[in-house]
Amino acid sequence: MASKAKMFNREAANPKNKPEEILKTLALQQGQKIADIGAGGGYFSLRFAEAAGKQGVVYAIDIDSGKIKFVRRNVADKRLGNVHVVSLTRRA
């Protein structure tokens, strides 16, 4: 599943998808609370965490347990204390 999460991050980071423009348009501020619903591989969650700073909070939310594990690992590796990874289960 990590390969699928990595693919999501590569796509999000691809300049043709304008990630910098997306971040600029959102105009995130230090101290904000941000929900990244459908966080996928966490590319934007990690970028949001930088923008929100230590006083802010980012909720990285997804229903895919493999992607959630990948994001949790990246958050731990980067020691981002302002990112809360939330796993939601699918309901029939």
Q: Which is higher by pLDDT, 59 or 1?
A: 59
Per-residue pLDDT tens for 13-52? 888 989 999 999 999 999 999 999 999 999 999 999 999 9
Q: Looking at residue 21, what is its pLDDT? A: 95
What integer best gives the mean pLDDT of the chain? 92
Within 8 A by CB and 6+ apart from 9, the residues are 40, 41, 42, 43
Q: Which residues contact 92 (CB under 8 A, 6 or more apart)?
A: none
Note if the pTM is more than 0.85: yes
Domains in the chain and their CATH numbers?
2-87 (3.40.50.150)
> Is residue 92's pLDDT more than 60?
no
